């Protein structure tokens, strides 16, 4: 039997808010928000003439009070662009939790970035996230995720970018994402095979609460760890939909207790309340309870 590859990260990634680095007010507000992670964006949300100012904003922000209880990710411009090298220098100086690469087409993009970070003696804790937002990125999702299992790889997470993918394919933005579902599931399958996380794409109309709820429910059912957000108004719903509900937590605790029973020693399959459960369910239960405890231990946003 092949060995199941465990998820590498047990971080909370229910709500991943994108904040334009050019927006000083939004940067400061990120301290008070209850999102799990913040993407400081230097790419799409910053016009070319304001790229340098956005980098200076991030320098000042990172020099200030730490962003407590949240992952810090900097999305850079493509290294092949005129802005990418300066963005990478900023990442090396600020040492966020991760660098987010735009428009990743294949595993070479990941290995090249890993080599650049290694050459700069960046700590191993500085991870790589990858935007999957091109046709080639979707087609190569498995190979990209597999690159995260190579020795020394920093790849932690794939983030789906449907706006660019729609633009390049001509797929219309329809409710239910009917024609996009196969591509979304391809990304989820890729990360599941190699122990990474996948973050669902943004929902563009932050005023459409019903539509956002429906898309969160869909993404959770597909297996995404969380959702990329464009507005603070979306945080509460994302946390609720992608977080463990009380019934799931109770079931997970029951599974853990059942395997902790001395009568279960040495058994890979046991009967718990009339249901046959395997040790792989124990691994899933422990991960869920761990995340529930992380949520409970979170300090209230200030």
CA distance 5 to 190: 12
Picking from 187, 239, 234, the residue whose alpha carbon sits closest to that of residue 210 is: 234
3-state secondary structure of 125: coil
Picking from 119, 107, 206, the residue whose alpha carbon sits closest to that of residue 158 is: 107
Q: What mean pLDDT comes out for the span 1-17?
A: 69
Residue 63, judged by CB atoms within 10 A of its CB (0-12, 13-18, 19+), counts as: exposed
Residue 9: predicted pLDDT: 62
Dump pLDDT digits (tens) for 194-224. Answer: 999 999 999 999 999 999 999 999 999 999 9
Residue 273: predicted pLDDT: 73
Specify the CATH number of the domain 15-242: 3.20.20.60
3-state secondary structure of 203: coil
Q: What mean pLDDT comes out for the span 86-115?
A: 97
Picking from 191, 132, 150, the residue whose alpha carbon sits closest to that of residue 7 is: 191
Residue 300: predicted pLDDT: 58
- Which CA distances in Å does 295 have to 97, 160, 239, 300? 19, 24, 10, 10
Instruction: Show the tokens assigned to 145.
Output: 């995720």
CA distance 33 to 24: 15
CA distance 213 to 153: 35
Please say if the pLDDT value at position 6 is more than 70.
no
Task: Confirm or deny that 166 is annotated as ligand binding.
Answer: no
Residue 168, judged by CB atoms within 10 A of its CB (0-12, 13-18, 19+), counts as: middle
> What does the domain layout of the chain look like in residue ranges?
15-242, 246-297
Task: Confirm or deny that 75 is annotated as ligand binding.
Answer: yes
Picking from 82, 78, 83, the residue whose alpha carbon sits closest to that of residue 105 is: 78
Q: Give the contacts of 207 (CB within 8 A, at least 6 positions apart).
A: 233
**DSSP code, position 129:** E
Task: Confirm or deny that 164 is annotated as ligand binding.
Answer: yes
Please say if the pLDDT value at position 302 is more than 60.
no
Dump pLDDT digits (tens) for 218-275. Answer: 999 999 999 999 999 999 999 999 998 888 888 888 888 888 888 788 788 888 777 8
Query: Concatenated DSSP letters for 18-72?
Result: EEETT-HHHHHHGGG---SEEEEESSTTS-GGGHHHHHHHHHHHHHSS--TTSEE
Pairwise pLDDT comparison (269 vs 123), residue with the higher score: 123
């Amino acid at each position: 039997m092949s060995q199941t590859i465990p998820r590498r990260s047990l971080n909370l990634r229910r709500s991943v808010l994108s904040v334009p680095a050019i927006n000083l007010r939004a940067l400061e507000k990120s301290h008070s928000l209850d999102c799990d992670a913040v993407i400081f964006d230097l790419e799409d949300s910053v016009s070319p003439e304001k790229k340098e100012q956005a980098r200076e904003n991030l320098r000042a922000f990172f020099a200030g009070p730490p962003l407590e209880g949240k992952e810090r990710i900097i999305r850079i411009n493509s290294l092949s662009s005129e802005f990418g090298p300066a963005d990478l220098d900023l990442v090396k100086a600020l040492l966020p939790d991760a660098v987010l690469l735009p428009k990743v087409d294949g595993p070479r993009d990941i290995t090249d970035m890993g080599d650049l970070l290694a050459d700069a003696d960046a700590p191993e804790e500085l991870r790589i996230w990858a935007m999957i937002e091109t046709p080639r990125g979707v087609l190569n999702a498995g190979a990209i995720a597999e690159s995260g299992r190579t020795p020394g790889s920093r790849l932690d997470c794939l983030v789906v970018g449907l706006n660019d993918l729609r633009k390049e394919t001509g797929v219309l933005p329809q409710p239910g994402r009917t024609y996009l579902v196969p591509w979304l599931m391809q990304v989820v399958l890729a990360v599941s095979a190699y122990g990474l996380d996948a973050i669902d794409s943004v929902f563009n109309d932050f005023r459409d609460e019903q539509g956002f709820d429906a898309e969160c429910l869909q993404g959770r059912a597909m297996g995404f760890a969380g959702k990329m957000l464009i507005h603070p108004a979306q945080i509460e719903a994302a946390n609720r939909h992608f977080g463990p509900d009380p019934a799931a937590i109770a079931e997970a605790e029951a599974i853990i207790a059942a395997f902790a029973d001395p009568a279960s020693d040495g058994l890979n399959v046991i009967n718990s309340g009339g249901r046959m459960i395997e040790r792989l369910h124990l691994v899933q239960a422990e991960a869920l309870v761990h995340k529930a405890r992380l949520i409970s231990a979170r300090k209230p946003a200030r």
